[in-house]
Amino acid sequence: MLTIILNTASTIPLYEQIYTFIRDEIKAGRLCYRDKLPSTRNLAANLGVSRNTVDMAYAQLLSEGYIESVPKSGYYISMITELTHIKTPPKSKQPQAAKYNQPYLYDFSPFAIDINSFPYNIWRKLSKNCMNESNNDLFLLGDNQGDESLRKAITDYLYSSRGVNCTPEQIIVGAGADYLLQLLAQLFHMMHTERNRFTDIKETKDSITDGYSNSLTIAMENPAYKRAFRIFKGLAFNTVPISLDQNGIKIEELEDSAANLVYVTPSHQYPLGIVMSIKRRLELLQWACKVPNRYIIEDDHDSEFRYKGKPIPALQGIDSNGNVIYLGTFSRAIAPAIRIGYMVLPKRLLALYKKHLFYYSSTVSRMDQYILTHFINDGYFERHLNKIRKLYKNKHDSLIQNLKPFKGSLIIEGENAGLHLVLRLKTKLSEEELTELAAKSGIRLYGLKEHYISHTEPYSTTTFLLGYANMAESEIQKGIQLLYKVLKDYLLP
């Protein structure tokens, strides 16, 4: 059990004291990769605080990538060795820098959210309503795909906000997008096995004509959401990187890849923030229709957060042939610890799912499903989204305003949506060198290079993802002012 000395007289909230202690223990190497943290219930009891306080601390650690949540197991320390050891940059390139081992003053994480905006009072009220005698059935196993009432609420929400056309029967509810991707990967393997069972040798040799190779091949945007890439790679998929242009994934490269599946983030590409044009969307749907059993996995990343113009409809909504699998989650819009995601399966895949994977129980507790159902149906979710959109827009605008001193040395991309900006800096230093310079002054930056599946892309600029969700506007201003002071001598006009 962790021994944390809490100062109840401090102006620093208790959850932040817990978060800071665990974060510093990870950075110092005293908590190591795969170490298991105490459960929120046990730690709360040990510290004499409410469980909500520990939940908030864990949620922030989870959103910033310090820890990972393993369904039905608990929280574990992530692999983040770069926090405890930063290489000294070449002397010929920049001044000598000592190892940086102090807490960051400003962390521009593209993964974090504003945990302080969580609707605690509403969630507490709905939790109390859940725990009454008339809801005894919530302690029993429910529908394996998720409670029908929640799936109906999600169906209505997706149709009104994203233009997704589906029925509650097509929705699978699971504990986050990671679990759903693993479930989907298993479904694809079964589909592939079932097809090969009825295919003779000659047909297998000619399988390229119907879009299949002897192994499952999935095309992915490059750069990509690396978590999805690692999941598919770890489940024996042949992964193929496909380049991007200003309209999204390049169809010519996709055609040449012989892939039978493609994973895309069309409404706000992660990490570059590209919005896939309607022409490219139609071309992608046409690609899927050319041969049987081709599918597009649409991860609707950060779709709730758009600050200019009309919302971009989902790709699934214009798919008339059932080739798009739609993925979404409430982790970014509500909180990472909610761990509720959903997947919309086309009817052909739904039949296969019910045939082979019907025995999988839902990985989300029925009480959490009950709370979220009422959070959506009673209008709280819509009001919460309106509130945090305004909050994030103000932070987004503040960040852009404070970047003005960089002038011609900076190109901003991916703005007006999502929770981070893409900054291309004109500089004589590399991403690694600038990252270390910033770290020495207490600023954490996140480079773009680590998001590439293959590093064959030319790097004409040094590029960073600058998140702003977890920072106050005053922190954004001070952080950018300090960043400019640190980098100005290394910027090119």
Structure confidence by residue, pLDDT tens digits, 314-368: 999 999 999 999 999 999 999 988 889 999 999 999 999 999 998 999 899 999 9
Beta bridge partners of residue 68, listed in sequence order: 76
Strands 420-425 and 462-467: antiparallel
Beta bridge partners of residue 389, listed in sequence order: none
Reported as a pLDDT band with limits 50, 70 and 90, residue 197 is: low
Mean pLDDT of all residues belonging to the chain: 87
User: Do 58 and 16 touch, CB atoms closer than 8 A?
Assistant: no
Q: Is the pLDDT of residue 19 over 70?
A: yes
CA distance 52 to 43: 11
pLDDT at 97: 41
pLDDT at 455: 61
306: DSSP letter: B
Reported as a pLDDT band with limits 50, 70 and 90, residue 99 is: very low
| Mean pLDDT (whole number) for 126-148 | 86
pLDDT at 150: 97
Q: Is the pLDDT of residue 83 over 70?
A: no
Reported as a pLDDT band with limits 50, 70 and 90, residue 456 is: low
Reported as a pLDDT band with limits 50, 70 and 90, residue 26 is: confident
> For residue 311, what are the contacts with CB-CB under 8 A and spacing of at least 6?
161, 162, 303
Q: Which amino acid is at 472?
A: A
Reported as a pLDDT band with limits 50, 70 and 90, residue 409 is: very high
pLDDT at 87: 45
Distance of CA 307 to the CA centre of its chain: 19
| Mean pLDDT (whole number) for 55-68 | 86
Closest CA to 67 of 105, 106, 23, 98: 23
pLDDT at 460: 56
Q: Is the pLDDT of residue 204 over 80?
A: no
Percent of the chain with pLDDT over 90: 58
pLDDT at 3: 81
pLDDT at 73: 86
DSSP symbols for 204-215: HHTGGGGT--SS
CA distance 412 to 434: 17
Across 39-161, the runs of DSSP E, i.e. the strands, are 67-70, 74-77, 106-107
pLDDT at 78: 84
Reported as a pLDDT band with limits 50, 70 and 90, residue 102 is: low
Q: What tokens were used for 198?
A: 């009825």
Using only C-alpha atoms, what is the Rg of the chain? 23
Q: What tokens were used for 348?
A: 């052909």
CA distance 465 to 272: 8
Q: What tokens were used for 346?
A: 């086309």
pLDDT at 454: 79
Residue 452 buriedness (CB in 10 A; 0-12 / 13-18 / 19+): middle
Phi, psi of 324 (to 5 degrees): -110, 130
User: Do 449 and 455 touch, CB atoms closer than 8 A?
Assistant: yes
CA distance 390 to 473: 13
Reported as a pLDDT band with limits 50, 70 and 90, residue 206 is: very low
Q: Is the pLDDT of residue 181 over 60?
A: yes
DSSP symbols for 382-396: HHHHHHHHHHHHHHH
Q: Which of 88-92, 206-210, 239-243 has the lowest mean pLDDT?
A: 206-210
User: Do 301 and 267 touch, CB atoms closer than 8 A?
Assistant: yes
pTM: 0.75
pLDDT at 134: 73
CA distance 51 to 40: 6
Q: What tokens were used for 463?
A: 């590029």
Reported as a pLDDT band with limits 50, 70 and 90, residue 250 is: very high
For the chain, helix (H) and strand (E) counts, in that order, are: 15, 17
pLDDT at 7: 87
| Mean pLDDT (whole number) for 406-414 | 91
Reported as a pLDDT band with limits 50, 70 and 90, residue 196 is: low
Beta bridge partners of residue 444, listed in sequence order: 107
| Mean pLDDT (whole number) for 193-212 | 49
Percent of the chain with pLDDT over 70: 89
Cα dihedral sign, 477-483-489-490 = negative
Q: Is the pLDDT of residue 464 over 60?
A: yes
Three-state DSSP state, 342:
strand
Domains, the chain, ordered by start: 1-85 (1.10.10.10), 89-112+379-493 (3.90.1150.10), 133-378 (3.40.640.10)
Across 417-492, the runs of DSSP E, i.e. the strands, are 420-425, 443-444, 446-447, 462-467
Question: b vs e for 122-138, b when ≥16 Cβ sit within 10 Å of the residue's Cβ?
Answer: bbeebeeebeeeeeeeb
